A and B are shown apart, each in its own frame.
Chain A
Amino acid sequence: MQVKKTNFTVNATPRFSVLTEDEIEQIYFSALSVLYETGVRVYDQEGVDVAHAGGAIVEDTTEDSSLVKIPPWMVDKALSTLPRKVVVIGPDRKHRMELFKDQVYFGAGSDTPFTIDPKSGERRRATYEDVKNFARLAQALPNIDFHMSLGIVQDRAVGTYDRWQYLAMLEGTTKPINITAVDLDGLNDQLEMAYIRLGGKEEWRKGPIFSLYIEPVSPLSHSEEVIQKLLFSADNEIPFVYTPCPLAGATSPTTLAGTAVQALTESLFGIVLAQIRKPGAPMIIGGLMSNMDMQTTVYCYGSPEMALLSAAYTEITKWLGVPMYETAGCSDSKMFDAQAAMEATINIATAALVGGNMIHDVGYLEQGLTSSPELMVAANEIIDMVKRILRGIPTTDADLALPVMDSVGPGGHFLEHDHTYKRFKHEIWQPQLIDRQNFESWEMSGSKTFKDRVHERVLEILEAEHEPLMEDKMFAEIKRICELADERHKDEELDLDMFGPG
């Protein structure tokens, strides 16, 4: 082949960037200063000991905590053993996430106290059945790649709800799950449940079916529970998300760069501790950085700052070589309405364009307090639309279509052309829920709004026949772990029903 061209670059996808490499380095080296000079407070003796043995400076020890300072070399050492790629595979061994630079996956958020009833539209406390329903939605929606518990199970015991949530999700989906755990015992139980679901620990080692969500408290505090979960996860080959949720202006500096520095400091401490404990421990860092609304004091999930900060942080993680826990598909609206769609669209597009890996919180309303089946179904369509943009515009000869134009010539049309027939389905995105009919056709089909169509789709998925995802025997065995946990923890409960009717 004769070459007639040089220096030709191709954008296989669009490009989107918030920070330059110099700016990323400025944030990173600032975080190293905070880690070394300000330090972080650790409320767990074992965590303090591990850090100390690894070279950390420990001072200002009180009854319940110590100030831990990490010299920069410890971070370099930790990053040298930190896996750049983390894989989580669903129990069907088909749905998988390969988390590394610029790989994009979307999934739900977790643990909202409230949910919107899929039928009545009423906002109420979430139950086991809701969590199962959301998992079934996740299973049915092609653009949902992983799942989390879109609701706190509140019709079971409070101290053991995490096991019930996991069970409800296992009933509804075979996609990878990002779990939460109320404590170490809860994590241990859920690991046992996963072993049963998979057929043993060796199967787990070939591809874990869940990752664990761990959230240190901003500013710069790592609780006993958080550290214990981190150490247990490192010991047991559980990939975990270590994600602070700083609130710019309240629990971190009001400037977005300052918030990024603090969040990175908090995550870097997790990286250092985990890599000392077990070099190679798989981690994902992130993930939710936003601003406090200075009128209402809420944590904004739909603000442009949330999307912008998460995007900037994604670029930092790409530079560091660690998978990123992004945030999108969420809103501060109280119901699925125009605001919800608008905010979710902005943050989904931003997170996807920048290349966030594990993009969570799809389906969150009301600052993460309420989950919405409608937002989740709508987000599936929004993600689909954004994925079309990610495919960009290739400019090969076949794409440029000069012979096609030549054959049609001035004044002709392309509708019958082979080139159109062969390529339109790939080239032109076809919506499922978005309506493009003219007015008369739209009126004839019932004058349905987008919200109406989304609502119908939710019910259609939930009312569809479905085969159980687990055999009865396996289900019973896994459920037994939940029941035994209830038995062990019953003394912690209040002697009243916290959330039930009356």
Chain B
Amino acid sequence: MNETLEKLSTCILEGDSEAAPGLVQQALDDGVVPKTILDEGMVVGMNEVGDRFRRGDMFVPEVLMSADAMQSGLEILRPELVSSGVKLIGKVVLGTVQGDLHDIGKNLVGMMCEGAGFEVIDLGFNQKPEAFIDAVKEHQPDLVGMSALLTTTMRAMGHTIKSLEEAGLREQVKVMVGGAPVDQAFADRIGADGYGSNAVAGSDLAKRLVGAG
């Protein structure tokens, strides 16, 4: 393996956001193909992070540091990937639904998805169905993710999916839902495409839904 790519992979694993952009740039300067930088440098590091997390050798704050490093590297690499015609993994619009101010779970999913290479558009909390519709129109995402902590606000997930249908946008996105009182049965019932029981499951689901998992 190219030495720079090895350094880049280690830098992602160690969560060094400051070093990542420089290493990406160095690899580009060395003439390494953008897709190779992604697959053989950054993704190798991030996969190791995932393995260590699953083994219980890494913890959430460390994983998020790695996700940050991944993001900072991607800022340099993304335009190069796009101009060389590589399709990025996907784009996710995320939000906590109307009536709910709880967003820590949604934030975690967002950070995990960024770590997996997704572009994440975070709408924030207390978002009306119209906000999701506007975001889908504007950003043309592959995925819409919704979160709720309360059973009363869980309803808003159903209302939002219905609004997406009425706006004729439902077919163009996959919808994933999560939050403490949500389960698979509820997700099925409101017509979501998937349910994630935690942040890691959420980003794994996102990958599956775009056919990359």
| A498 and B157 alpha carbons, distance in the complex (Å) | 11
Contact A217 B102 (CB under 8 A): yes
- Cross-interface CB contact of B181 among A113, A297, A492, A493, cutoff 8 Å: A113
Contact A247 B104 (CB under 8 A): yes
Neighbouring B residues of A497 by C-beta, 8 Å: 189
Asked if A54 is an interface residue, CB under 8 A from chain B, the answer is no
- Cross-interface CB contact of A494 among B53, B190, B199, cutoff 8 Å: B190
Neighbouring A residues of B104 by C-beta, 8 Å: 247, 250-251
| Residues 231-266 of A contacting B (Cβ, < 8 Å) | 247, 249-251
Neighbouring B residues of A111 by C-beta, 8 Å: 151
Asked if B152 is an interface residue, CB under 8 A from chain A, the answer is yes
Contact B190 A161 (CB under 8 A): no
Asked if B154 is an interface residue, CB under 8 A from chain A, the answer is yes
Contact B102 A498 (CB under 8 A): no
Asked if A459 is an interface residue, CB under 8 A from chain B, the answer is no
Contact A297 B60 (CB under 8 A): yes
Shortest distance from the beta carbon of B147 to any chain A beta carbon, whole Å: 13
Q: Across the interface, name the chain B residue whose C-beta is closest to A186.
A: B152
- Contacts A294-B61, A295-B60, A297-B108; is A43 near B101 (CB within 8 Å)? yes
Shortest distance from the beta carbon of B167 to any chain A beta carbon, whole Å: 17
Contact A496 B108 (CB under 8 A): no
Contact A292 B152 (CB under 8 A): no
| A367 and B105 alpha carbons, distance in the complex (Å) | 15
Q: Which of A32-40, A152-160, A431-439 forms contacts with chain B?
A: A152-160
Q: Across the interface, name the chain B residue whose C-beta is closest to A219.
A: B104
| Residues 96-147 of B contacting A (Cβ, < 8 Å) | 99, 101-102, 104-105, 108, 126
Neighbouring A residues of B59 by C-beta, 8 Å: 294-295
| A294 and B57 alpha carbons, distance in the complex (Å) | 11
Asked if B198 is an interface residue, CB under 8 A from chain A, the answer is yes
Asked if A221 is an interface residue, CB under 8 A from chain B, the answer is yes
- Cross-interface CB contact of B60 among A159, A292, A367, A494, cutoff 8 Å: A292
Q: Mark contacts of A483-501 with chain B using CB atoms, 8 A cut-off: 1 yes-contact digit, 0 otherwise.
A: 0000000001110111100
Contact A296 B198 (CB under 8 A): yes
Asked if B88 is an interface residue, CB under 8 A from chain A, the answer is no
- Cross-interface CB contact of B151 among A152, A183, A225, A250, cutoff 8 Å: A152
Q: Across the interface, name the chain B residue whose C-beta is closest to A43.
A: B101
Q: Across the interface, name the chain A residue whose C-beta is closest to B102.
A: A217
- Cross-interface CB contact of B158 among A295, A297, A298, A496, cutoff 8 Å: A496
Q: Across the interface, name the chain A residue whose C-beta is closest to B186.
A: A498
- Cross-interface CB contact of A295 among B56, B155, B186, B190, cutoff 8 Å: B56
Shortest distance from the beta carbon of A190 to any chain B beta carbon, whole Å: 15
Neighbouring B residues of A161 by C-beta, 8 Å: 151
Output the residue of A64, A152, A494 with the most chain B CB within 10 A: A494
Residues of A participating in the B interface, judged by any CB pair closer than 8 Å: 43, 64, 111, 113, 152, 154, 158-159, 161, 182-183, 217, 221, 223, 225, 247, 249-251, 292, 294-298, 367, 369, 492-494, 496-499
22 contacts between A and B (CB under 8 A): A152-B151, A154-B151, A158-B155, A159-B152, A182-B152, A183-B152, A217-B102, A221-B101, A223-B101, A250-B104, A294-B59, A295-B56, A296-B198, A297-B198, A367-B180, A369-B180, A493-B155, A494-B159, A496-B189, A498-B155, A498-B189, A499-B186
Residues of B participating in the A interface, judged by any CB pair closer than 8 Å: 53, 56, 59-61, 99, 101-102, 104-105, 108, 126, 151-152, 154-155, 158-159, 162, 180-181, 186, 189-190, 198-199
Shortest beta-carbon contacts, A-B, top 10 = A294-B59, A113-B181, A494-B158, A217-B101, A294-B60, A182-B152, A223-B101, A250-B104, A152-B151, A251-B104
